[in-house]
Amino acid sequence: MANKNFSIAGNIVDVISREIRKAELIVEDGVIVSITPKESVPDCYILPGLVDAHMHIESSLLIPSRFASLAIKQGTLGLVTDPHEIANVLGEIGVDFMINDAKKIPLEIRFGVPSCVPATRHETSGFVLDSNIVESLLKREEVVCLAEVMDFVGVIEEDLEVMKKIVACKKMGKKIDGHAPGLVGADLKKYVASGISADHECSSIEEALEKIALGMMIQIREGSAAKDFDALYPLLETHPEKIMLCTDDLHPDDLVEKGHINYLIKKGLEKGLDLFSLLRAASYNPIQHYGLDLGLLQVGDTADFIVVDNLESFSVEQAYRKGECIYKDTEVLFEVNNEIILNNFSRKAIQLSDIRVEPQKGKIRTMLVKDGELITDSILCEPKIQDSNVVSDVENDLLKMVVMSRYDNGKPVIGFAKGFGYNKGAIAESIAHDSHNIIAVGTSDEDLLEAINTLIEMKGGIVAANEGRTECVNLEVAGLMSNKSGEDLIQDYKILSDFASDFGSKFQSPFMTLAFMSLLVIPKLKLSDKGLFNVNEFKVVNLFKEE
């Protein structure tokens, strides 16, 4: 058994008293029993462990235990994760897997119960989590909240199923997380009054301030696709007690190359933000809000902390959890050995004729996609027609997009997107928020077919195809995650990403961006396996529109 009695000295960063002092920590049985001032200490900084207040581990493409091995290197000791993605694919079975796998490692990983599975009735999901199942899951000790309530319409209209979930959570005294992009006025007041206390979907200061005024905590998000830190960071100075930091969705390459919550701290310091306000948002606030079992470097707390070299590079040298060193000198000090095949994938291969689009009168409704944003605009474009088939118009960056159910053999649904910037090839994946059907975008029907059918043969993952060549990442756990180590997965992902980067897109994370083009609760125009969807009107619309 590891020795949990030790002392360590350095520059102690006290988030509560807002001071840095030279001192020595004495730890006995994993608990801090004293903090003694010292005149001379090693040139390092000891800080509370960092916390991601809202994320989906599935977006890292790694199972929880594998993700933890990467996150600990960035100083992350705690996170609140919503297993919404795997719940859409595998229901309770998927949620159980995530919780049980997380128990194998020493990080403080707590869960939200997915509140909206499926997110809407306008898509095909693998499972449904009704109010009875949600109430049962909320009773688990690993659960700290009802996760992002995306069905804000259901809250406002007091839909019985939605309200049952909210009431059950309130009875248990657990938090309710929100998901209400752009919601304002009377509708927002009713949404918050239902008991929803946090939101990670703000993209402007004005939106965030309105929610704060109603009592909400704001989770500033900086993930691989959605990046809101630059727009919202002034809130850390004006409302430090109301802010938490989160990534929401983070690909493994970004986790390793840029960092996790430590990246946001460095980014904030570069902007001249107060260190203690940043650290409060990255530790104290989420720990208090969700009741996480993490110490804050106070006498009587469990010894949960990280050691960094300095406050500029913020390079993590050591990490401790309950008095046990779990990371030191680039080495992760806990074992991860997992191998599981868990999936729900029933799709058969398709033919070229399945993705043909017969021309109709009018222009085509098109998703205008922007890098780093989940919100799309809806514009009208002239279709390019060849052999009585509407095809991708590469010269005008108008690309065909396909979404099709992975759970049955329903007909593929076709839409068009502008903004990806591909001049050749196609990409496809089984990561398609929120039901995780098959989604693809490409410059030709032939490349689209190659990418899609390769994905179907794999039963899930990510694929890039161009003129007969394919590269892929196999995701054998629900078509969302891999059993591989983070390092091995990143190597596979880099080969895929390098191949696809030659297709011409300037997006920082085109695979992540594509995954959100089927998310029917984010405005304005999205695509599901049941049709082209106008989010503002919340209904399926025809691809063609006569002017």
Q: Please write the tens of the pLDDT for every residue from 471-505.
A: 999 999 999 999 999 999 999 999 999 999 999 99
For the stretch 229-243, pLDDT in tens is: 999 999 999 999 999
Let me know whether 364 and 477 are in one domain. yes
Let me know whether 20 and 136 are in one domain. yes
Q: Is 61 left (phi over 0), alpha (psi -120 to 50) or beta?
A: left
Q: Judge whether 343 lies within some domain.
A: no
**DSSP string for residues in 232-274:** HTTHHHH-GGGEEEE-BS--HHHHHHT-SHHHHHHHHHHTT--
| Whether the bond into 434 is cis, omega within 30 of 0 | yes
| Lookup: tokens for 14 | 């006290």
Beta bridge partners of 466: 469
For the stretch 63-85, pLDDT in tens is: 999 999 999 999 999 999 999 99
| pLDDT score of 467 | 93
Final residue of a structural domain among 302, 332, 362: 332
Average pLDDT in the 46-75 region? 96
Whether pTM > 0.85 for this model: the answer is yes
| pLDDT score of 2 | 63
> By the 8 A CB rule, do 149 and 162 touch?
yes
Let me know whether 445 and 397 are in one domain. yes
Let me know whether 259 and 395 are in one domain. no
Average pLDDT in the 3-27 region? 95
| pLDDT score of 1 | 45
> By the 8 A CB rule, do 522 and 533 touch?
no
For the stretch 78-116, pLDDT in tens is: 999 999 999 999 999 999 999 999 999 999 999 999 999
Structural domain count of the chain? 2
> By the 8 A CB rule, do 245 and 52 touch?
yes
Confidence of residue 521 (pLDDT cuts 50, 70, 90): confident
Q: Judge whether 345 lies within some domain.
A: no
State the residue range of the domain holding 478: 352-545
Is the pLDDT at 186 greater than 90? The verdict is yes
Average pLDDT in the 275-288 region? 98
Is the pLDDT at 144 greater than 80? The verdict is yes
Contacts 24+ apart (CB under 8 A), 451-458: 451/426, 451/427, 452/350, 452/402, 452/404, 452/428, 453/349, 453/350, 454/428, 455/428, 455/429, 455/430, 456/347, 456/348, 456/349, 456/350, 457/349
Final residue of a structural domain among 271, 300, 332: 332
For the stretch 291-321, pLDDT in tens is: 999 999 999 999 999 999 999 889 999 999 9
